Amino acid sequence: MSQNRQIRDVVFVDGVRTPFGRAGEKGIYANTRADDLVVKCIRELMRRNPSLPAERIDDVAIAATTQTGDQGLTIGRTAALLAGLPQSVPGFAIDRMCAGAMTAVTTTASGIGFGAYDVVIAGGVEHMGHHPMGAGADPNPRFMSERIVDPAALNMGNTAENLHDRFPAITKERTDAYAVASQDKLAAAYVADKIQPDLVPVATMKPSAGWTVNTVDEPPRPGTTLEDLAALRTPFRAHGRVTAGNAAGLNDGATAALLASADAAEELGLPVKMRLVNYAFAGVAPEVMGIGPVPATEKALRLAGLTIEDIGLFEINEAFAVQVLSFLDHFGIADDDPRVNRYGGAIAVGHPLASSGVRLMNQLARQFEEDHTVQYGITTMCIGLGMGATVIWENPHFSPAATTPEGSAA
């Protein structure tokens, strides 16, 4: 016999990540396993939340785009065991490419809302040095022979060039200017100690250098100028517009978040940094996958009964500057709107694919804590093969009478 169920409130309790590294043999994680990066995040979540008994965790969902090698073997379960969680705590792996960690969050959050879980850990990892994008994949030849997708769909850089074609108002000069701003904002956030609190120190070994404790992100290039970016080659198209400077790099890193029902958080004395409002995923033409956040955001807003004007903060994953600018142009938001990526984004900090969704959430939660004038914020990203994802969050600290971080009345 069916029972009437009431959807429960889901809250974001805490989130952490490793410093992001550059992929490749010279990167900080060249000799570090992907699953060990996840273990670091899980252990840090438990250390930071001592009132949470480990046996109260109902599931561990970890995403990876390339689920093989040290990212395989049902990494949610293996990482949970390696992190020392009780054997009674289950786990699973998940893949939605760039939105892997975001999907781990929304999937387990749905379980909390339904009543199947009280507390979960959700996150993602990508070691692009060990597992380059697409390594070992075998796309069905029908994709090409039957023209199910455009050939450009299988190369993310080409999809970004296609966006430039579709939106000629988004020039290379605009994307380079946006990229410089991302670097500048991240550098300022580091100076203001906005990034460091959520980073898990990771000790790594290099035969030539011995042991090193990594406490900061490796990819940022503070001080980047427009002149620097103008000189970069366009690898995806002759005389193109997408470069290594106005796109996210190839990176390694892991993230993890602690989610709970509002009742469980209160019972266990856990902090509440954000409340989940709604979320949505949407598909688009794979050859212009970067436009995916637009329909995903429109759908999420519709489901939540909100409009774009209700959103006070935007955390948009910067796979490519053109992708972010296409989103901003669609919604009539200026390139330099102070609501957008206040701490910089993936162009500066890096984008280890399946892990990035929780980084966006960490940064939004930090901004909610410092700006009580904002009621709603979103985390959104494009996804390979033509998708977009958007999650809408509510600020538990919101107060209409609050002042801005600069001290003026809201």
Q: Cite the active site residues.
A: 98, 351, 382
d(CA 34, CA 254): 8
State the CB neighbour count (10 A cutoff) for residue 92. 17
Q: Which two tokens stand for residue 392?
A: 């809408």
Per-residue DSSP letter, 320: B
Return all residues near 84 (Cβ < 8 A) that are at least 6 apart: 43, 54
| Strand, helix or coil for residue 39 | helix
d(CA 331, CA 112): 32
Beta bridge partners of 211: 205
How do beta strands 59-63 and 119-127 pair?
A: parallel
* Cβ contact 316:381 at 8 Å: yes
* Cβ contact 41:254 at 8 Å: yes
Per-residue DSSP letter, 250: -
* Cβ contact 319:249 at 8 Å: no
Phi/psi of residue 46, each to 5°? -70, -40
The DSSP-derived string for 180-239 is HHHHHHHHHHHHTTSSGGGBPPEEEEETTTEEEEE-S-SS--TT--HHHHHTS--TTSTT
Tell me how far CA of residue 333 lies from CA of 179, 256, 308, in angstroms: 17, 30, 10
State the CB neighbour count (10 A cutoff) for residue 403. 13
Give per-residue burial for 148-160: e unless 16+ CB within 10 Å, then b: ebbebbbebbbbb
Q: Which two tokens stand for residue 56?
A: 């109260």
Q: Of 252, 203, 247, which is closest to residue 25 (Cα–Cα)? A: 252
Where would I find the H helices in 66-115?
A: 75-82, 100-114
Q: Which helix (H) or strand (E) holds 42?
A: helix 34-48
